[in-house]
Amino acid sequence: MARFKIASLAASAVLIGTGVATIAPAAQAEASPKCHVWEKNTTRFSGWCDGRGPASYRATITCRHGGEHQGQWHWLGDRRGSTAWCEKNDRVASKWQFISG
């Protein structure tokens, strides 16, 4: 079974392999690519990240009323971008998540 590393700017990484998730320090995660934000307001967080696949990125937003929501996964360098949004104007945080294969 393939192993994937999921990293986020929240200083943690998760290794997923045989169905068991393990938390690893961010120092073990690969360096984060440069991302370009199109929109960041109280409702939406969107943009795209440099690089090349098969590594991928997506936008993630945390809403005061509704928890965390994720945008679409796209390969690094795919300028179609990823958008995450809150249904109300209540964004409290936003970040990029990455997967490398």
Share of the chain above pLDDT 70, in %: 68
d(CA 63, CA 79): 25
| Residue 81 pLDDT > 60 | yes
**Mean pLDDT within 40-48:** 96
Q: How much is the pTM?
A: 0.68
